[in-house]
């Protein structure tokens, strides 16, 4: 049976609240310790193994059943630590962004072009916690993000009770959020979106282009490249690998401008493939930090 993205959280509200209590009263390492049996429980669930297998079988095509089980555990455990660190950021305000000065300066230089900035990332590494790490850049900051009713995860600002440092644009809104994105960029703002996942509805079905990823074809959004071409706004591809307890790094494998090539999706294949090639290189270096738990290749 083909599994599409539903937006449903991998973990339950009960376990997330339990980890929140351990973080509040015991700290990060206490929550890490409790994570072991929780991840073991989830890894024994056939539904979770199936969701993880779509990516893992493409990343490790020669793995047998036993090897795949341990890889599933490692993937889930790494994801769990990343979610704990995001919760620690919200509850205790404790996280260390170790992005290089070179990366920060590159982003400043792109913003200094005076046209805003489009950041394209993916559901890998510490992408959620890292959305709070752009305070060194001036300008309004927006994240293109659709929150499913099945999503019980709490963002860092929700756990802290403070106002979010970024605002949100729903891609399932009118026009797929294009009007809002164009408005932000017109004010020389910063827009961040995930470039590895399309959304449902009419807009999502139209906003895709097929690219090659880990030995198969997947659909990813393409309209952001068309927007970049029409507005002259630069694009920075940025990933945020987990580097250990409370540490988030940044990688900028690509930064470029897009030529205005009209409306046809096939005109932006080169830019979309450039992004996905960067993501594939990321999965080679960090194989247990890619978190699309559904069949992207169907």
Average pLDDT across each block of 10 residues of the chain; the chain has 298 residues. List them in order. 51 72 84 91 95 97 96 96 85 75 90 94 87 75 75 57 74 79 93 85 69 96 94 95 90 95 94 97 98 93
DSSP 286: S
What's the confidence (pLDDT) of residue 213? Answer: 97
What's the confidence (pLDDT) of residue 1? Answer: 41
What's the confidence (pLDDT) of residue 147? Answer: 61
> What is the pTM (predicted TM-score) of this model?
0.87
Length of the chain: 298
Phi first, then psi: what are they for 89, rounded to 5°? -60, -45
Q: Which of 34, 36, 37, 45 is nearest to 10 (CA)?
A: 45
What's the confidence (pLDDT) of residue 90? Answer: 74
Instruction: Identify whether the C-beta of residue 274 lies closer than 8 Å to the C-beta of residue 253.
Output: no
CA–CA gap between residue 11 and residue 193 (Å, rounded): 23
What's the confidence (pLDDT) of residue 188? Answer: 93
CA–CA gap between residue 240 and residue 288 (Å, rounded): 13
Q: For residue 197, give the 3-state DSSP assignment.
A: coil
DSSP 267: G
* Token pair for 186: 């017109």
CA–CA gap between residue 150 and residue 274 (Å, rounded): 32
């Amino acid at each position: 049976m083909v599994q599409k993205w539903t937006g449903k959280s991998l973990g339950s509200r009960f376990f997330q609240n339990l980890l929140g209590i351990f973080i509040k009263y015991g700290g990060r390492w206490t929550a890490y310790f409790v994570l072991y049996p929780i991840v073991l429980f989830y890894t024994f669930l056939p539904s979770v193994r199936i969701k993880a297998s779509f990516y893992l079988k493409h990343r490790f095509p020669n793995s047998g059943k036993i090897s795949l089980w341990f890889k599933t555990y490692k993937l889930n455990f790494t994801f769990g630590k990343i979610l704990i660190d995001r919760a620690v950021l919200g509850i205790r305000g404790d996280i260390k962004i170790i992005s290089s000065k070179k990366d920060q300066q590159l982003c400043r230089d792109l913003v200094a072009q005076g046209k805003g900035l489009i950041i394209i990332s993916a559901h890998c590494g510490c992408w959620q916690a890292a959305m709070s790490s752009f305070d060194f850049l001036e300008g309004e900051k927006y994240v293109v993000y659709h929150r499913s009713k099945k999503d019980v995860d709490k963002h860092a600002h929700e756990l802290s009770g403070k106002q979010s440092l970024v605002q949100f644009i729903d891609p399932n809104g009118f026009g797929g959020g294009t009007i809002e994105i164009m408005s932000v960029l017109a004010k020389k703002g910063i827009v961040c979106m995930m470039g590895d996942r399309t959304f449902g509805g009419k807009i999502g079905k139209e906003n895709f282009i097929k690219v090659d990823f880990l030995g198969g074809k997947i659909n990813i959004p393409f309209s952001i490249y068309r927007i970049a071409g029409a507005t002259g706004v630069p694009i920075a591809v940025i990933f945020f690998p987990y580097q250990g307890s409370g540490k988030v790094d940044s990688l900028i494998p690509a930064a470029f401008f897009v030529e205005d090539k009209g409306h046809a999706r096939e005109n932006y294949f080169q830019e979309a493939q450039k992004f996905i090639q960067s993501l594939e290189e990321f999965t080679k270096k960090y194989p247990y930090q890619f978190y699309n738990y559904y069949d992207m290749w169907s």
